[in-house]
Amino acid sequence: MSENIQQKIESLREELHQHNYNYYVLDNNTISDFEFDEKLKELQELETAHPEFFDANSPTLRVGGGITKNFPTVRHQYRMYSLDNSYDFDDLEDWEKRIIKTIDEPVEFVAELKYDGASISILYENGKLSQAVTRGDGFQGDEITNNVRTISDIPLTLKGDFPDRFFIRGEIYLTRKNFDKINKIREEEGLDLFMNPRNTASGSLKMQDSGEVRKRGLSAVLYQYISDEFPGDTHWEILAKAKNWGFRVSEDQAKLCKTLDEVKEFITFWDTERHKLPFEIDGIVLKVNSLKQQRQLGYTAKSPRWAMAYKFKAEKVETELQSVSYQVGRTGAITPVANLKPVLLAGTTVKRASLHNEDIIKKLDLHEHDFVYVEKGGEIIPKIVGVNVDKRTHLQTPIEYIKNCPECGTELVKIEDQAIHFCPNELHCPPQVVGRMIHYVSRKALNIENLGGETIEQLYREKLVENPADFYTLTKEQLLPLERMAEKSAQNILDGIEKSKEVPFEKVLFGIGIKHVGETVAKKLVKNFSTIDELKNATLEELCQVEDIGMKIAVSITDFFQNSENILMIERLKSYGVQLEKGENTNEVLSHVLEGKTFLFTGKLSLFTREQAEEMVEKHNGKNISAVSKNLNYLVVGEKAGSKLKKAQDIGTITILDEKQFLDLIG
């Protein structure tokens, strides 16, 4: 029986690895997303029921779930060097001359894109991904294996004829599309926006929850093989081999150049074409193709002599500042925007530039009608990088930052550590009121599909809705007179609103828009407080006991419940039948052996992930709690358990188990 299950698990794993490779590397999908998900689900269920067949490289672990509290430091077996930079063709010619001095035979170059992300070194042993480490200072970096496993472009197991043990290096990056998607969600959730894809990619790699890393949608490309032995004589050959083992390699957009002229052609082409790529590059990397020649050239103290980065110049133009306007975001944050005389930059017409905040305006010493330099660097929105003061007359006055909200007149407040101004009139400032309702109906909240932003704005202008509770009293007679509203769409909206009464508490809690309470925090709160009233009555101390909830979030929650308008809204939502309590646990229960018992997992687990463990507890009718206290019955400890173990030992009444003993308990 168990042998059959093991076989089944292994064949599912193999099949899913192959589909992943077809999809991400070959770009040739042979099964539907639905079928893929079904198979993945099947595997996940088998693995949960049979933790003894755990494999750190199972495709199910791509979905993440493992939590890393501290990333251990790992020394690189082969140092990760930087690259020398060049900025024009003269620099390149000098480089070629230096090479020719050492090598008196023809030299070929591989020209690759210089991907703008975070570099990574991945160790493969016996065809399995075994460790991934960030560049760090080049000598040592952080081990982020769990997070890297969630990136679909990176194979967990290899195919074909690969060496037993080698490192492969590459870049982890975010496409512009995924970057925009992340920021859109952050905007909806009232979080600060990220500045550029590069920083977001490297920040994502350091998140503790690998499930969250997965959601970021990172991409990866590999461009360097390192080991004591090489499976070929040239860089170009090895890239082709690595592709066959299952890697997405730089070769796809690279060129093998026989002369420096060909290199220059490649650079000129990509200097303009790069704007059409779905991701950002900041230059071109050139590598001497022959490994023998590479060895002859060797390294300087900082970088290989056989490689060179060519950096593109950030494009810069001069234009006139026509005015500064101020946008009030859905969260009340004020963004100053420079309105410019339209000008062509990096292939697009630019009319506006972000000014970010008052400090930047002051630093630029911006005056009305200044001529400004606008640049498009790593950031998506162009920015003003300087002023042509020669063109300024003594009649121009400095730009004065506004004191009051342009939408509602309320005096703005400045949050010191963020250098940003906010309109504090959360409940009545029009964009904030509308923003809150749009957030309420959004997909991850109440998911009221047919009620879009424009309709909500209209309803608000007509004074039909002012907060989410008002949706539930809307009638067809009120909807029909709106622009472009037919009988059918009005009915769909009403049906959607009605259906939202079934949406579970955690989504409602996310939807009502308490500052800093995002999707994940809402989930954690619902685990600890099963009704909105329990949450309302919770003290700051009680809130801070919840995993991942600190003072900032706790204060925001108690503030929310101190406002009588919010209380009224909640009471109304309750009276309309919106879910403000945790529903019956619909999860299938396998047994009652853990009935009434509480569990907490600590340390590095090796037989199962924390999420799988907690799921097992729930399936056997136990309860997970998040802190060590007298209420805890069992502490399950993995490797390197720390303060929680000590605290549990001090309390004395808590049973301490290792992972195996825990499995015995339920099996």
Please check whether residue 396 is in contact with residue 370, taking contact to mean a CB–CB distance below 8 angstroms.
yes
Number of residues that bind ligand AMP (CB under 6 A): 12
Q: Which of residues 634-653 bind ligand AMP (CB under 6 A)?
A: none
Q: Measured from the CB atom, is 274 or 507 closer to ligand AMP? A: 274
If one asks whether residue 333 binds Zn ion (CB under 5 A), the answer comes out as: no
Residue 342: count of CB within 10 angstroms of its CB = 12
Quick one: which of 127, 100, 506, 133 has its CA closest to 296?
A: 100
For the beta carbon of residue 23, count every other beta carbon within 10 angstroms: 17
Residues 6 or more apart whose CB falls under 8 angstroms from that of 393 comprise none
What is the distance in angstroms between the CA of the first residue and the CA of the last residue of the chain? 16
Count of residues making up the chain: 667
Lay out the sheet containing 281-288: strands in order across: 85-86, 307-311, 281-288, 109-115, 255-257
Least Å distance, CB 434 to Zn ion, is 12
We find the least distance from the C-beta atom of residue 251 to ligand AMP, in angstroms, to be 10
Which of ligand AMP, Zn ion, none does 407 bind, CB closer than 5 to 8 A by kind?
A: Zn ion
Residues contacting 422, CB < 8 A, separation 6+: 331, 332, 333, 334, 412, 413, 414, 415
Of the pair 328, 512, the CB lying nearest Zn ion is at 328
* Residue 489 token pair: 């769409």
Distance, in Å, from the CA atom of 561 to the CA atom of 535, rounded to the nearest integer, reads 9
For residue 425, the partner it binds in ligand AMP, Zn ion, none, with Cβ less than 5 to 8 A by kind, is Zn ion
Pick from 424, 97, 79, 63: nearest CA to 217: 63
**According to the binding rule CB under 6 A, does residue 285 interact with ligand AMP?**
yes
Q: Does 112 bind ligand AMP (CB under 6 A)?
A: yes
Of the residues 115, 236, 401, 560, which one makes contact with ligand AMP according to CB under 6 A: 115
Pick 206 or 647: Cβ nearer ligand AMP: 206
**423: contact with Zn ion by CB under 5 A:** yes
Task: Name the residue with the smallest CB distance to ligand AMP.
Answer: 119
- Looking at residues 74 to 93 of the shown chain, list those that interact with ligand AMP (rule: CB under 6 A): 82-83
Is residue 114 at the binding interface for ligand AMP, with CB under 6 A as the rule?
yes
Handedness of CA 430, 431, 436, 442 (dihedral sign): positive
The 8-class DSSP code of residue 194 comes to P
Q: Could you say whether residue 358 binds ligand AMP (CB under 6 A)? A: no
Handedness of CA 157, 162, 163, 168 (dihedral sign): negative
DSSP string across 125-162 = ETTEEEEEEE-TTSSEEEB-HHHHTT-TTS-SB--SS-
Instruction: Tell the smallest beta-carbon distance from residue 402 to Zn ion (Å).
Output: 11
Under the binding rule (CB under 6 A), the answer on residue 530 touching ligand AMP is: no
Q: Which of 20, 48, 58, 119 binds ligand AMP (CB under 6 A)?
A: 119
423 contacts which partner out of Zn ion, ligand AMP, none, CB within 5 to 8 A by kind?
A: Zn ion
Number of H helices, E strands in the chain: 24, 22
Residue 241: phi, psi to the nearest 5? -65, -45
Pattern 133-162, binding to ligand AMP, x per CB under 6 A? --x---------------------------
Q: Nearer Cβ to ligand AMP, position 25 or 284?
A: 284
Which one of Zn ion, ligand AMP, none interacts with residue 188, CB within 5 to 8 A by kind?
A: none
Judged by CB under 6 A, the stretch of 112-120, 454-462, 512-520, 577-585 that binds ligand AMP is 112-120
405 binds Zn ion (CB under 5 A): yes
Site string for ligand AMP, 237-256 (x = CB under 6 A): -------------x------
Q: Could you tell me the smallest distance in angstroms from the CB atom of residue 93 to ligand AMP?
A: 21
Which of the stretches 150-158, 372-380, 416-424, 569-577 binds Zn ion when contact is defined by CB under 5 A? 416-424
Please give the backbone phi and psi of residue 224, each rounded to the nearest 5 degrees, phi first.
-155, 125
Q: Is 114 a catalytic residue?
A: yes
SS (H, E, C) 315-371: EEEEEEEEEEEEEECCCCEEEEEEEEEEEEECCEEEEEEECCCHHHHHHHCCECCCE
Can residue 426 be called a binding residue for Zn ion (CB under 5 A)?
Answer: no
**Active-site position among 8, 41, 97, 114:** 114
Sheet holding 118-125, edge to edge: 128-134, 118-125, 165-173, 219-226
Give whichever of 429 and 521 is closer to Zn ion, judged by the CB atom: 429
CB 19 within 8 A of CB 30: yes
Q: Which stretch binds ligand AMP (CB under 6 A): 8-16, 110-118, 292-300, 544-552?
A: 110-118
Q: Which stretch binds Zn ion (CB under 5 A): 49-57, 406-414, 458-466, 489-497?
A: 406-414
Residue 280 near ligand AMP by CB under 6 A: no
Q: Which does 429 bind (CB under 5 to 8 A by kind): ligand AMP, Zn ion, none?
A: Zn ion
For position 223 contacting ligand AMP by CB under 6 A, the verdict is: yes
* 289 contributes a contact to ligand AMP by CB under 6 A: no
Taking CB under 6 A as the binding criterion, the range among 109-117, 272-280, 399-407, 431-439 that sits at the site for ligand AMP is 109-117
CA distance 449 to 446: 9
Q: If binding means CB under 5 A, how many residues of this protein chain bind Zn ion? A: 7
Residue 506 in contact with ligand AMP, rule: CB under 6 A: no
Instruction: Give me the amino acid identity at 284.
Output: I
Please state, in angstroms and rounded to a whole number, the distance separating the CA atoms of residues 503 and 523: 13
Long-range pairs of 429-434 with CB within 8 A, sequence gap ≥ 24: 429/328, 429/332, 429/405, 430/460, 431/328, 431/329, 431/330, 431/332, 431/407, 432/328, 432/330, 432/331, 432/332, 433/460, 433/466, 433/467, 434/330, 434/460
- Strand 109-115 versus strand 281-288 pairing type: antiparallel
Q: CB under 5 to 8 A by kind: which of ligand AMP, Zn ion, none does 112 bind?
A: ligand AMP
610 binds, among ligand AMP, Zn ion, none (CB under 5 to 8 A by kind): none
Within residues 301-330, the interface with ligand AMP by CB under 6 A covers 309
**Residue 121 or 146 with smaller CB distance to ligand AMP:** 121
Residues near ligand AMP (CB under 6 A) are 82-83, 112, 114-115, 119, 135, 171, 223, 250, 285, 309
The catalytic residues are 114
Residues near Zn ion (CB under 5 A) are 405, 407-408, 410, 423, 425, 429
